Structures are given as structure tokens and as C-alpha cells.
Structure 1
Amino acid sequence: MMAKSRYFYCLFLMNSLINIINFTPRELLDTRFDGAQSSILVAVVTGTLFIYLFTKVINKFPGKGLPEIFASALPRLLASPLILIYAVLWYFAGALILLSFVDITLRFVSPDTHPTAVLLGFLAVVCLCSRIDPLSLLYGLEVTLGITLPLILYTTVKAVVNPNFSWDAVLQMMTYSLHPPDMNSIAAATFTFSGYINMAIFNRVFHGLKLKHVWILSLEGLLVLLVTFYVPIGYHGTVGVERHVYTWFTTADSIRIEAFLVERMLYIFYFAYSTLALVSAIIQWHVGKELFLSQLPSTGGKPKAKLRREVVILGIFAGGTLFLMRMDQYNLNMLGVFLLHVRWYGELLLILLLFWCYWIIRRRRA
């Protein structure tokens, strides 16, 4: 079956929302006095341009994923290392989401639980679901967004209208908006727009993606970045915000819900984002798994042989994540910031490579 174009928007929305629990808010808030706000504007323009160029060129290869595109245009000695590098990047993207959420779970929900037990539970869900076919994953993503998006919107509105929200702190922060952009902040903020990159594999179920109203993606990305940046400042102040690692979860923990079964907003926020984080990690590892599988010899249509390969690849993913859990928070943050930069340049390289592949194929046909 052919996937409908709305699933592209689901991939974009998932990635833009999940940026609240990764390293994007921390990077933006670290440079709040030194160009974070102007960097957000640059990131919106850059991210929208990347989306437009990527969808423009990926439409030239209907029903094909990145391995098929590279195989049809590039020599194997060049295509294979590139695909393996991108597969590793997708693995790390999913692993960092899981590790961040293990830390969040221990800090805010269940501090007495052993971190390995939490991570093993997450890994079991992610590894099992990463084997699902792409179209079913897109269906599941749509349902997940239908459940979590209203909860996230409710939390955001509840935070902004709360009497404890200081608009004076937000207005004071805006006085620093004319500072020149910062490269670290741009690389972090553009992650909000990176959901399109999963089309490297999911394009296999799209045959003629019709992307309309790109300005909606720009507007949504801008709003997410502004909310991500300003709401914690409104709660914790322009200086106090630097004391918190996961600023949005600290913010949610300070909101109370009157006349409801659950008094603490934190639990609703945690449920929404734990669900979204797991689905995001499933999507990332599915793409990484498929990229690794594409570099192995064909199984000749034998399901058991493919299953064994998937088990080995996902087992390596899980083992690598358990090893990364030994890193302290400082080193994990350094790795996350490094990967934000690598991801940004990797997206630019991928877009250029796809245009190059298209040019090579056109020249052969001519």
C-alpha cells in the first residue's frame, strides 16, 4: 500500500515535539544571552530550506529508500561507507533519546528504581517494535500523536496562563534578541526540523509525496522553538533557568491541576513524552536497522534468515546503549552536542548526495 502525504507531517511533528527532552533546550538556554534567539530565526529558515530541497529531490525516486538510490547511482565502494555512517548516526539518535528518558524517569518519577531495569524495559519495547513494517509504524505514529498531542498542548497552555509565569522575565530575555547567531544554537535548533530525514527509508512506502503549504512547517517549528525557549525562562527566570537540566520537566513538576484525578501535571507530561520518546526511538532504530540490513547479502526471501539478522543488529543496538549508560551526564551531554553538529552537516551532505545521484541517473538516461 502507498502511504499518504500526511504521514510526512507526522514524522516532522514527532521530531519537533521530541526536541524538548533532548539537548536542544539546554543548548539554546546556555546561549540565551549570546544569540540563541537570532539563532532560532536562522534555524527556521535553514530547516525549511532543507525540507523543501530534500522533498523536492526525494520525489524523483518514488518508492525507493536511500540504499536503493545510492546503489543505482554511486559505486559500491562509496555508497556502502556512506550508508554505514548514516546507520550509526540513526542508531545514536535513538539511543540518546532512550538514555535521556531513563535519566528523566529516575529523576522525576521513580528514583528508587535501578537504571538498568528501566533501560531494559525501554529496550524490550523498542527492539520488538523496530521490526514492524514501515507502513504500520506510520499508522502507529499517527495514533500516538493523536493521543499525546492534546496532552502536550494542554500542558503548554496551562504553563503559559499560570499566575507563576513571569512575562517580565520573557520580555527581559527579548532585549538580547539582536545578538548575532551562535553556531551551536543553530545546529541544536535545526533538529526541530529534522523529522523529514527519516524519509531515507520511509520513502519506500511513498509514491509521489505531495508536500503542500511548507509555511505551516516553518510556523510550527518556530512556535515549538519559541515555546521551548521562553516557557522555562518565564518560570525559572533568566538566571535561575541554568540550574535545571531538564527544564521542561521541572516546569511541568511545578504546575498543579485543580479538580482532577491527577494533581501533578508532571505525570501527564511524563506519560505523553514517554510514549512519544519510545515511538521516536522505534522510528530511529527502524531506519538504522534497515540501513545496516541493506549492506548485507540478500536473504533470498527467507524470513528466518532476515529475522536472525534483525535480532543480531538490534542486539548490537541494545548492547551499545547499555554500554553508553555507563557514561556520566556531562560526557553524555558532550556526545549529544557533538551529534547535533554531525547531524546538521550530515543532512546537508545527504541532500547534496541525492541531487548528485539524480544528476548521474539523468545523464545516464540521456
Structure 2
Amino acid sequence: MSRFIFYLILINMMTSMVSLTPRILISGSGSGTILSLVLALIIGIVMTYILVSLFSHFPGLGLPEILEAYAPKWFAKPILLFFGLAWYTAGLFTLTIYTIIIIRFLTPAMSLYTIVLTFVIVVTFGVFMKAHNILYMSEIIFVVVVPFIVFIQMKGYFSRDLNWDYVRVALMEINHLPDYGAFTSSLFIVVGTANLVIFNRVFTQLKKPTGKGITLLGFFLAYVLATTYFLPIGFTGYDAIKNTMFPWIMTSDSIRMKFGVIERIVFLFIGSFLALGVVSIIMHWHVSIQLLSSVLYSERFKWKSFNLTSPLLIVIFWAVAMTVVVKITTDGLFKYVSMFDNYFTPALLTLLIFCLLSARKGAASKWRKSKK
């Protein structure tokens, strides 16, 4: 399995660690979060195997090309439109969450518009990069940032301030049936493979996952899911953290580097995740732009020889994003993220697998006819 698929999955997972996912998991801690994590891990690995295997039958093709070849237009266009809006919404949530984090913990005196404008410049440049360049950029940032994040997490695990009794109490909840909200939120973490709807264009020789690759991926997924949930609880306990919007920010502020240049690592920690967050937004919106352009592309939107469909879409993206970031509250954001995880994530994955299975069946049928 290509290393870039690991990056697609792990960047999506790690970006969620400081978002609202930990709060959603902790809010369901008394009603089956543990089994939800286990179930999401198993189903996430199975879905990763299925999606990579299905996309391997269409080397070098994104979902727009696959549906164009094997599905009628009346079916393909609504599907691509739905997927494009879903990917945009996922990126919008990440943008909004990280904007709130920056204002609340890093630069409370800075204007909201200045922060969003900074995102506009960086993300817009990244969105219009070629898919393979985005993957190479994600690799560089992943290699630079993730070792530091893992180092901080290891310091957390070996810290004297970590109360393992809190972790044991959390583990005792294993006798509860899975919580649907915690399950879908965990499932969203592990489905970065779905970005292959566009990034599969880069993989002209995509191979099916091997047992070694799936085992390694399962280890990483289990580590991230367990760390996302248990470490914040271990530092503060249920009572102190259950109403906290960003549990991992509080946790990172509890970890010290006694002999480091900067003792409080929360600022470096947020900065590291901010880099991953920008990459995640770029990936989501690049996928969204490509999907929506395949549906809304028009020869009328031309200036000289340059088609303006994608630039017009990015202008709409930022107009909507600015409005949402300015008007939404943290409680409203939590509500909408939970709704997206509960309803759109399962529907999106189910629909994607259905489309690929149907396209594979159509491709096999065409191959048999050509042999005759």
C-alpha cells in the first residue's frame, strides 16, 4: 500500500485530535464510547481495505471519470454534487475549529477577519496545486510535524501528572453498548481513504492492501484513537473535562518541558496541529473543487482561454466560510459537527462503496463484451 495513502488517513486522523472529536467521545463516555472506538477501528480498517481494493480497479481515475464511464448522467451528477458539498463542509468545519482555537489560545487580540484572510491566502494557493504536489507537501509536513506531536504524547504517557486510575475508570465503561455519536465521530477519523475520489488520479498502479500494510495501519489507528480519548481523561478526569470544548488543548497545557527552551508546550503543540489542519483543509477543498467542477463546468465561464469555474467556486467557498466563521457559536459548531458525523459520514461511505461496486460491475461487463 502506497505511503501516500497512509498520509491521507493519518493526517485526517491527527487533525481531528484537537478538534471537537475528543469532546464528542468524552460526552458519550458513560454510554459506550469504548466499544464504539473498537467498532470504528474494525469497520474503518475494513472500509479502508474495500476502498483501496475498489479504486485499484480504476488506476489513474478519479470518481468523476469513473462515473462518467460507467454511470448515467442523471445518477452521476447528483452524486458528485453531494460529495463535493460534503467535502467542502468537512474542510469548513476544520477551518472554523482552528480559527476558534487560534483566537482563544494563541492570538485573542487579533481580528477574526485577519485570521481568516491568512487562511485564504495559504489554502487558496494549496487548493489549486496539482494532486501529486499536494501529496508531496503533505509528506513533508507530516515528517516534520508528527515526530514532535508523538514526542509530546509520549511525555504525556510517562508524566507523573497522568492519573492511571482515571484511565482505568474509563476502561470500566466497556460493558456499555456502543454509542452511535461516538461511533460515527470515530469512524470519520479513520476514513481519510475516501479522499481517493480525486487523489486516485495520482495512483496509476495502485495495489491492493497487503496484510503487513493493514496491520501497520491498524496499529496507527488504534494508537491515535486510544490517545485521543484516554490521555485527556487521564490528566483531568471526567468531571473537569466533560464540559471542555477542546480537551486536548487543556491536556497539552498540563505537559511541561522542564529543561526545554519553552516550558509550556501548548503553543508549539497548537502550531504543529495547525500545520496539519491547513493540509487537511487543502485536501478537502481540493477534492471538493474537483468534484464540483466536474458537475458545474461551463464553457460560458471563460476569460480568453482560461475557464473561470474553479476560481468562481473558490470565491464562493470563502464567502460562505467568512459568513460561517463570523456568525457561528461554539455550541452551534458542536451541534453541526455532530450532525455531520451522525448522518453524512455513514451515507457518504455507503454511497461511495455502492458507486464503486456498480462501476466495477459495469467495467467487468464491458470487458466480457469486448472479449466476445
Q: TM-score range by the shorter chain?
A: over 0.9
C-alpha displacement at 1:303, in angstroms?
9.7
**Is residue 153 of structure 2 the alignment partner of residue 152 of structure 1?**
no
Alignment of 1:90-105 (within 5 A): 90-105=87-102
Q: Is the 8 A contact 1:299 1:305 kept in 2?
A: no
Instruction: Supply the distance in 2 between the matched residues of 1:110 and 1:22 (Cα, whole angstroms).
Output: 18
Aligned to 2:274: 274
Q: Is the 8 A contact 1:23 1:188 kept in 2?
A: no
Instruction: Supply the distance in 2 between the matched residues of 1:299 and 1:187 (Cα, whole angstroms).
Output: 40
Aligned to 1:180: 177
Aligned to 1:313: 313
CA shift in 2, pair 1:336/1:249, >3 Å? same
Instruction: Supply the distance in 1 between the matched residues of 2:303 and 2:138 (Cα, whole angstroms).
Output: 25
Instruction: Supply the distance in 2 between the matched residues of 1:235 and 1:131 (Cα, whole angstroms).
Output: 42
Q: Is the 8 A contact 2:24 2:181 kept in 1?
A: yes
Aligned to 2:333: 332
**Is residue 198 of structure 2 the alignment partner of residue 197 of structure 1?**
no
Amino acid at match of 1:327: I
CA shift in 2, pair 1:154/1:11, >3 Å? same
Aligned to 1:234: 234
Alignment of 1:345-364 (within 5 A): 345-364=347-366
**Is residue 69 of structure 2 the alignment partner of residue 72 of structure 1?**
yes
C-alpha displacement at 1:233, in angstroms?
0.4
**Is residue 22 of structure 2 the alignment partner of residue 25 of structure 1?**
yes
CA shift in 2, pair 1:190/1:305, >3 Å? farther
Give the SS at the match of 1:63: coil
Aligned to 1:14: 11
C-alpha displacement at 1:150, in angstroms?
0.8
Instruction: Supply the distance in 2 between the matched residues of 1:92 and 1:137 (Cα, whole angstroms).
Output: 20
Instruction: Supply the distance in 2 between the matched residues of 1:298 and 1:69 (Cα, whole angstroms).
Output: 20
Q: Deviations over 1:127-179 (max 9, x none)?
A: 12100000111000000001111111011011111111111111111111121
Instruction: Supply the distance in 2 between the matched residues of 1:56 and 1:303 (Cα, whole angstroms).
Output: 41
Instruction: Supply the distance in 1 between the matched residues of 2:95 and 2:69 (Cα, whole angstroms).
Output: 35
Instruction: Supply the distance in 2 between the matched residues of 1:161 and 1:362 (Cα, whole angstroms).
Output: 54
Instruction: Supply the distance in 2 between the matched residues of 1:190 and 1:304 (Cα, whole angstroms).
Output: 45
**Quick one: which of 138, 141, 145 aligns to 1:141?**
138
Q: Is the 8 A contact 2:23 2:245 kept in 1?
A: yes
Q: Deviations over 1:63-89 (max 9, x none)?
A: 000000011111101100110110000
Give the SS at the match of 1:155: helix
Alignment of 1:277-288 (within 5 A): 277-288=277-288
Q: Is the 8 A contact 1:151 1:268 kept in 2?
A: no
Instruction: Tell me the TM-score normalised to structure 2 length.
Output: 0.94
Q: Deviations over 1:235-274 (max 9, x none)?
A: 1112211131101011112222112221211111011101
Instruction: Supply the distance in 2 between the matched residues of 1:75 and 1:26 (Cα, whole angstroms).
Output: 42
Give the SS at the match of 2:30: coil
Instruction: Tell me the TM-score normalised to structure 1 length.
Output: 0.95
Give the SS at the match of 1:294: helix
Alignment of 1:37-52 (within 5 A): 37-52=34-49
Aligned to 2:257: 257
Q: Is the 8 A contact 1:11 1:198 kept in 2?
A: yes
Instruction: Supply the distance in 1 between the matched residues of 2:97 and 2:38 (Cα, whole angstroms).
Output: 27
Q: Is the 8 A contact 1:299 1:306 kept in 2?
A: no
CA shift in 2, pair 1:166/1:359, >3 Å? same
C-alpha displacement at 1:361, in angstroms?
2.3
CA shift in 2, pair 1:48/1:306, >3 Å? farther
| Greater alpha carbon shift after TM alignment, 307-316 vs 350-359 | 307-316
C-alpha displacement at 1:305, in angstroms?
5.0
Amino acid at match of 1:256: R
Instruction: Supply the distance in 2 between the matched residues of 1:39 and 1:78 (Cα, whole angstroms).
Output: 33
Aligned to 1:162: 159
Instruction: Supply the distance in 2 between the matched residues of 1:163 and 1:305 (Cα, whole angstroms).
Output: 64
CA shift in 2, pair 1:297/1:237, >3 Å? closer
Amino acid at match of 2:45: T
**Is residue 331 of structure 2 the alignment partner of residue 365 of structure 1?**
no
Q: Deviations over 1:303-333 (max 9, x none)?
A: 9755622211111111111111111111111
Instruction: Supply the distance in 1 between the matched residues of 2:331 and 2:135 (Cα, whole angstroms).
Output: 34
Instruction: Supply the distance in 1 between the matched residues of 2:116 and 2:279 (Cα, whole angstroms).
Output: 15
Instruction: Supply the distance in 1 between the matched residues of 2:299 and 2:49 (Cα, whole angstroms).
Output: 36
C-alpha displacement at 1:23, in angstroms?
2.6
| Greater alpha carbon shift after TM alignment, 347-356 vs 278-287 | 347-356
Amino acid at match of 2:295: Q
Counting matched residue pairs gives 362
Q: Deviations over 1:58-113 (max 9, x none)?
A: 11100000000011111101100110110000001111101000100111111111
